[in-house]
Structure 1
């Protein structure tokens, strides 16, 4: 997603006219559905004026592109400023500029980490050169268009308020400043020269537009990347808070070798990279010949990791790297250099099969190692025996004489990088009050099903791509198939649905077993793991009554150990028991509903609960109908699943196909209803209201759109059209390819100020072609009659 996009000249004009921050603020509100805090607006006002001054250099072409606040795909991170154009060799280039308001920094002993004033105090954070480089690396990693079309990404940083460069350019950071040079206040002319070196010619090929709408590579899965990571390959670029946690942990591990015990508590929600950082630390500390182990209470992630590593090294070595949390009851003090505890919220008080050994798993880990790190999300405590809290870790560390530090992970990599979905989920489950009260503008595939069989078909369909979609459920059904292999566990006769819990044969490897998609997992077999898509069955332990969540631990199956002891506790302390069970049940569904990187599909056994969740998505589409995967028609060259109007799931799974001339006439609700063909978009594209598919004929746009290509458009686009490829209609247009009064062209406008407002004086519709004979279409009269029908998004 991109907040602002214009030419260099238009950007300069907007800054001079004092409208740049209003334009950005309005687009943030429209596209991100949030208000901009005052400090963010002030930052734009200050930094963008400095960037305008830098861009006044005539060596930087006026037609270079300027992009502001670009959201990196599949994350919640945004790039401050990007300048696009062509370098001296006429290669497409994009210079990424990380802007900082900092006035001074201090050098640390941690790689790529500096200290500076942030908020109310001096804090450690990423060196801006590393930050700029890591953002460029992420874009290149995720965006296949950047790689396949050889778009050069050049990172740098501009600290326009900083007067002294000694610390920020300290030789300790040379590795990073060479990859992404940093410029301070007095380096404004040097920055201009740097930009002109990489952007010699203007952006004549819509570079930022191609990046924004490029093909996105699927997110990496930690388990799949494990073997390569254990071989020392950097499979995941650590950004921002992840890098800080990683470097702090390495520093503390070395400090603890000859000094006091060290303990680091890392708080982070689902998808913030806790396990990625944990595995990277296991690899790095082991390579430094420190005796290190990865520890988790839940065996599912351990067993999956072990399975993935099988064949790459000896079994004894693998088993010695991954341990259960009860392994340290009898360990001698300081046996290990480092113990890395993942999912620390799942730690129990005592160890052993009967929970009768030791005093505290937290204390045992701290005593057994010189350095211990606990990755924790208290909102994922899902049994009554889970004692992992920040307060308890701090208390036990103090008992053991260990120094304690706390850090946070906030960068979001799951749920399509959507903080909004996670905040909405907390609101919907009534875990906490948030501002995200609906799913509007949240880029995550959330669906509600009236039929569990339809949900299963949807998950089966998604699983065909990479075996990374699974069904899970609250533990509300007895595990009958544990003793009788033919018995069904979860049965809904009215819907013809019957399924088994995950088979005992697969054990904790259910999440990656080849034929396990038909089975249903529970919290114990999926916590700590992730899928592309997750289908969640909500049982009667969680229902909605008059808009309020009502939980009932007694609706859980008797085999579920999560609420073991509830009845005795309820007899002695009923209020406490109900409150604890309520928290556990909500946490369970919060955890289940955040296992999907791309989407979460839901079926609730209770009708009122189903309606409650369905109401959140009604603004985007009606509750799901059964999935239709068969093709009901074919359109020459459109190699995607096509269905009829009757079979379509409008704007949830399918978008309409139009003749472009008809669409140009007037994109209306009538047309949507009467569209004969509907097409299913590829997995990496999200269907949403307003999208449509049409064919572009002719050579006038062949540098971007091949003749005859099927393309995805957004109808009636809002916001600025400057520099975008659009479908427009005007009575004065006679398109050279088809003769109609509509055309697909690059839109450029020239504005003048009238009565304090900027209005179009001239609109130029530019072909982007290598063919001879195409000219600009220039409109100067009756511009108010011009209709922008749709915005080009991508070639399919």
Structure 2
């Protein structure tokens, strides 16, 4: 997908016309489902004419140019892509990143980042390097030997800024991609010299059939990319399987082989509670599939946090193979693809799945791939607009004539491997009924008497170099700006030894990227793992799918204990997706939410309720201090 395609000379005849911009806006809206931002349209007005001027000055009128060319497997777009034919007669694509920068802020501590105004973005040489990597790994292949290059054009940038950016990109792969400023974009000493600087010196115009081949070629991972991904996953200790996890993996591989042999579509459901290893199995299966001939696998998750964590572990070069699944089908999934959908219980099911048919987008995914393996835990459904059950999947398979298999994971590897704790938590977060007193000795579980005690426990473990985090129900406003400093919105009044006190902490950052001036505040995807996360409070959407050693859970007023049952108060919630629900429907989401929060800790958990009656109830079930290794540090 692209907004415009034509030769440089053809583009030059239209680019200054306002109707050209209006047509681009309409095409953008139709392609992406929303109108481009005012800032983006303004950048088109400024950068497209500047690009055309440079390309014509370099004598490149006959090259084919695509504006806003989409890279479907990543969701990113290249500002401009030049297509031509190299000296060897093979196709060549030059990705161009356009910037209107006249000054930016750089940091030696974060060489891959640049601050422009209020925005922090990738260094443009790294950015264009990502585009080149994509073209080489998702478009080029044996029968289409595409060469890819990248160039940064800063058409307004003075020489000093360009020199700083070049120095910042002088190490690593980004050094291969030239950064050109205002003084580099003149035809000095000759137009051929400018074409050389742009990376286009020897390029000849492409035949129309070659342009059509590029525009219609299917984007899919190259064998080399799959081989490297398989090797990386195989070598990561984090993806080592234990006991039942490996048995489940083998069962899935057997189901995949059987489905391929029969030539029928297949759904495999892998169910299991928190800590049973669903994500680890999914990653290992991706490695297995990458090693199979003619493979075209994907590992998807509705959780952007989990996707970012996995890509960090495996390497960001494998984005596209590991990607977030929300409202659109990932690109390149074909009738021979095996799709692994982790956290399938979080898949979006618009409209509300309790009142509508099988989710449309998910149904398309299941119908498009050869085999779809879904990892789910029905008791982790925490919103009306997400959630999928084993029964719904089996019924859908029957309606569509797909084969269906189910694998249930039993062994629990989180929470110190304590089945007793998992059973106790499952019992605690049932709607009603008696809950046994905790008498286990294989998991560090206790009740905090006040929020200060809770935070001291977390801080002590953090000082010892062990991950510890505080989470809470969504019972406080979350109005902080997306960038630090964060507001201390989670506030809890409590009675201390010297009188009334107030405990306050900020929610975790809502930003997806590290803030340039606040490296001590981890972005949302890395709140659970990065330094500084223990000083913020995580919510269900940040913590779900993650784990850390020690886990503090604050229960708010949305779920309180009265007698032998839980009572829901949706009016206490600040979650716009849930607040308007009737109490009985809200109850199950609240129980699921706190069950998820209570199962993040691998070594120990502390509970605290802001409701006095609920706190007293928990006191009858839990010790007020930990045993060995559970002191309040």
Structure 2 residue 505 is the aligned partner of structure 1 residue 499: yes
List per-residue Cα deviations over 1:648-695 (Å, max 9, x = no partner).
Answer: x886746xxxxxxxxxxxxxxxxxxxxxxxx99xxxxxxxxxxxxxxx
d(CA) in 2 for partners of 1:262, 1:653: 47
d(CA) in 2 for partners of 1:369, 1:543: 44
- Greater share of residues in helix: 2
Q: Which residue of 2 aligns with 1:252?
A: 255
Question: Which of 305, 309, 316 pairs up with 1:304?
Answer: 309
Asked if the contact 2:335/2:368 (under 8 Å) is kept, the reply is: yes
List per-residue Cα deviations over 1:550-585 (Å, max 9, x = no partner).
Answer: 11112101xx24416x34xxxxxxxxx433211000
Structure 2 residue 613 is the aligned partner of structure 1 residue 596: no
Shift of 1:427: 2.0
Q: Which residue of 1 aligns with 2:549?
A: 532
d(CA) in 1 for partners of 2:231, 2:451: 38
Q: Helix, strand or coil: the match of 2:309?
A: helix
Distance 1:328 1:291, change over 3 A: farther
Q: Which residue of 2 aligns with 1:563?
A: 578
List per-residue Cα deviations over 1:70-107 (Å, max 9, x = no partner).
Answer: xxxxxxxxxxxxxxxxxxxxxxxxxxxxxxxxxxxxxx
d(CA) in 2 for partners of 1:330, 1:563: 28
Asked if the contact 1:384/1:562 (under 8 Å) is kept, the reply is: yes
Instruction: Summarize the alignment of residues 122-521 of structure 1 with structure 2, pairs less than 5 Å apart.
Output: 230-233=233-236, 238-258=241-261, 259-289=263-293, 290-310=295-315, 315=316, 317-326=317-326, 328-329=328-329, 334-335=334-335, 337-350=337-350, 359-431=359-431, 437-482=436-481, 485=485, 487-493=487-493, 494-505=500-511, 506-521=523-538
Q: Helix, strand or coil: the match of 2:607?
A: strand
List per-residue Cα deviations over 1:246-272 (Å, max 9, x = no partner).
Answer: 112112222333411111111101111
Asked if the contact 1:383/1:561 (under 8 Å) is kept, the reply is: no
d(CA) in 2 for partners of 1:511, 1:584: 22
Asked if the contact 2:472/2:553 (under 8 Å) is kept, the reply is: yes
Asked if the contact 1:257/1:337 (under 8 Å) is kept, the reply is: no
d(CA) in 2 for partners of 1:373, 1:480: 38
Asked if the contact 2:554/2:610 (under 8 Å) is kept, the reply is: yes
Which has the higher mean CA deviation after the structures are superposed, 329-338 or 419-428? Answer: 329-338
Distance 1:416 1:300, change over 3 A: same
Question: Which of 530, 534, 539 pairs up with 1:522?
Answer: 539
d(CA) in 2 for partners of 1:284, 1:397: 25
Instruction: Summarize the alignment of residues 636-785 of structure 1 with structure 2, pairs less than 5 Å apart.
Output: 653=630
Shift of 1:490: 0.6
Asked if the contact 2:300/2:340 (under 8 Å) is kept, the reply is: yes
d(CA) in 1 for partners of 2:415, 2:242: 18
d(CA) in 2 for partners of 1:358, 1:542: 30
Distance 1:261 1:601, change over 3 A: same
Asked if the contact 2:432/2:566 (under 8 Å) is kept, the reply is: no
d(CA) in 2 for partners of 1:525, 1:378: 18
Structure 2 residue 622 is the aligned partner of structure 1 residue 607: no
d(CA) in 2 for partners of 1:241, 1:651: 30
Distance 1:228 1:358, change over 3 A: same
d(CA) in 1 for partners of 2:616, 2:510: 34
TM-score by length of structure 1 reads: 0.45
Asked if the contact 2:378/2:387 (under 8 Å) is kept, the reply is: no
Asked if the contact 2:231/2:287 (under 8 Å) is kept, the reply is: no
d(CA) in 2 for partners of 1:486, 1:260: 52
Asked if the contact 1:412/1:419 (under 8 Å) is kept, the reply is: yes
Asked if the contact 2:238/2:280 (under 8 Å) is kept, the reply is: no
Asked if the contact 1:544/1:609 (under 8 Å) is kept, the reply is: yes
Asked if the contact 1:333/1:367 (under 8 Å) is kept, the reply is: no
Asked if the contact 1:350/1:358 (under 8 Å) is kept, the reply is: no
- Greater share of residues in strand: 1
Shift of 1:467: 4.7
Shift of 1:420: 1.1
List per-residue Cα deviations over 1:519-570 (Å, max 9, x = no partner).
Answer: 011000110111101111110001112343111112101xx24416x34xxx
Distance 1:653 1:467, change over 3 A: closer
List per-residue Cα deviations over 1:615-672 (Å, max 9, x = no partner).
Answer: 1124xxxx24xxxxxxxxxxxxxxxxxxxxxxxx886746xxxxxxxxxxxxxxxxxx
Distance 1:230 1:486, change over 3 A: closer
Distance 1:294 1:549, change over 3 A: same
List per-residue Cα deviations over 1:326-360 (Å, max 9, x = no partner).
Answer: 36548677355211111111112239xxxx99952
Q: Which residue of 1 aligns with 2:209?
A: none
Give the number of the structure with larger relative contact order, counting CA–CA contacts within 8 Å between residues 6 or more apart.
Answer: 2
List per-residue Cα deviations over 1:587-617 (Å, max 9, x = no partner).
Answer: 0000000000101111110111111112112
Q: Structure 1 unaligned runs (5+)?
A: 1-225, 568-576, 625-648, 655-678, 681-796
Distance 1:405 1:256, change over 3 A: same
Asked if the contact 1:253/1:337 (under 8 Å) is kept, the reply is: no
d(CA) in 1 for partners of 2:397, 2:337: 16
Asked if the contact 2:358/2:396 (under 8 Å) is kept, the reply is: no
Q: Which residue of 1 aligns with 2:199?
A: none
Asked if the contact 2:609/2:615 (under 8 Å) is kept, the reply is: yes
Q: Structure 2 unaligned runs (5+)?
A: 1-228, 494-499, 512-522
TM-score by length of structure 2 reads: 0.56
Distance 1:650 1:528, change over 3 A: closer
